[in-house]
Amino acid sequence: MILLENRIALMTQLGTYFMKPSAELEDIIDSAHRANGWFTPEFCRLAIHNIATSFLDEKALRNWIAQYPALMQERPEPKMVGIVMAGNIPLVGFHDFLCGFISGHNLKLKLSSKDTVLWNHIIAKLTEWEPAVADTVTVSEMLKGCDAYIATGSDNSSRYFEYYFQKYPHIIRKNRTSVAILDGTESATELKQLSDDINMFFGLGCRNVTQVYIPKDYQFEPLLQSFNTYIAHGDHNKFRNNYDFQLALYLLNKQYYMSNGHILMVENPAPFAPISVVHYTHYDDKQELINRLQQDDHIQCITVKERPEASGKCYAFGANQNPSLTDYADGVDTMDFLQNL
């Protein structure tokens, strides 16, 4: 058994390792990119940096843990928690792993085939620093014999998860996406930050903005120009194939679109948009829209300039991809779930 103080120390050590440039870590990042073309070195480094600064700072960890008094008592018989990882962006399931590890349970991870290189390296490093990790964290293709489950997938796969795990305590996560509400008064800096919310990780994450709500007579030129900081996406083979395919569909269907050369904007009320596409739709009452989106189970983040006091899902421009320890996916307190097993 690894004591809580040692678990905190290991996570802090991992954060230090992530923040200190090394040839070893760069080799792993290159290997992750070769295994998955979407995991560019730039975005792997970004994911690692965000995890280190937001999740693995010792003070932040201790403040977070202090909110869960039950964690202070070591578990004589830890539960086995199975975690089904997503693989849409690098290390996207790290927060679930961190919650499980800090809570003192044993973990059985089913990694996504899209994100094995980074995860296997992290587990190897933790085991190198503390051999007992080998008995605490294992990787398996089959998650049998677990006492509880946390699974992330699509709306379709979630139905299978609900069926297979129905007899056990579980958290099942479905498809989610993020939206932004604009009023036309946004500064160039704010629009650039919104461009980050849209374009980071090629728009593949649930925290990526895929739809913008705009007032009538909105002027699109500044927004489209803000996307130019990611113009290199147009040279990425996988991304470009998606762009060309969607563009061909709009041309064949004679559908109106706008573009800066690598992002397409089309009017569509649906919050989910294909890769390389951002939907837009008009609104009349901003507060009514915020209230409605807060209740929508498909919405992860709402990017908005003036956030209400009870912000809920609302985030400032540029903050989507850097959640804090208490920004639980789907609004479900994972740590509370784990401490009460």
What is the per-residue pLDDT for 158? 85
What is the per-residue pLDDT for 330? 85
Residue 144 C-alpha from the chain's centroid: 26
Closest by CA position to 147, among listed 98, 97, 81: 81
Q: Mean of the pLDDT values across residues 179-187?
A: 96
What is the per-residue pLDDT for 163? 87
Cβ burial of 20 (10 Å; 0-12, 13-18, 19+) is exposed
- What's the topology of domain 177-315? Aldehyde Dehydrogenase; Chain A, domain 2 (3.40.309)
Give the confidence band of 311 by pLDDT, cuts at 50, 70, 90: low
| Residue 238: partners with Cβ closer than 8 Å, 6 or more residues away | 37, 38, 202
* Each residue's pLDDT tens digit, 50-103: 999 999 999 999 999 999 999 988 878 899 999 999 999 999 999 999 999 999
Residue corresponding to tokens 């401490």: 339
> Out of 6-20, 21-35, 169-183, 310-324, which region has the weakest mean confidence (pLDDT)?
310-324
pTM given for the model: 0.94
Q: Helix, strand or coil for residue 181?
A: strand
Q: Which amino acid is at 248?
A: A
What is the per-residue pLDDT for 308? 60
Name the residue ranges covered by the structural domains of the chain: 4-175, 177-315
Task: Give kind and range of the element (H or E) at residue 53.
Answer: helix 41-55
* Each residue's pLDDT tens digit, 185-229: 999 999 999 999 999 999 999 999 999 999 999 999 999 999 999
What is the per-residue pLDDT for 331? 85
Rounded Cα distance, 52 and 14, in Å: 8
What is the per-residue pLDDT for 159? 87
Sheet containing 148-152, strands listed edge to edge, beginning at the edge strand earlier in sequence: 137-139, 106-110, 80-84, 148-152, 170-173
Q: Which amino acid is at 20?
A: K
Rounded Cα distance, 46 and 44, in Å: 5
CA distances from 132 to 107, 121, 135, 172 (A): 13, 16, 5, 29
Question: Same CATH fold, 177-315 and 4-175?
Answer: no
Rounded Cα distance, 43 and 89, in Å: 8
Give the confidence band of 154 by pLDDT, cuts at 50, 70, 90: confident
Residue corresponding to tokens 């929508």: 296
pLDDT at 310 over 60: no
Instruction: Determine what percent of the chain is predicted with pLDDT higher than 90.
Output: 89
Domain at 4-175, CATH from 3.50.50.60, 3.30.565.10, 3.30.70.260, 3.40.605.10:
3.40.605.10
Rounded Cα distance, 156 and 249, in Å: 25
Give the confidence band of 309 by pLDDT, cuts at 50, 70, 90: low
* Each residue's pLDDT tens digit, 97-148: 999 999 999 999 999 999 999 999 999 999 999 999 999 999 999 999 999 9
Closest by CA position to 10, among listed 111, 130, 104, 110: 130
321 or 40: whose pLDDT is higher?
Answer: 40
Give the confidence band of 3 by pLDDT, cuts at 50, 70, 90: very high
What is the per-residue pLDDT for 153? 85
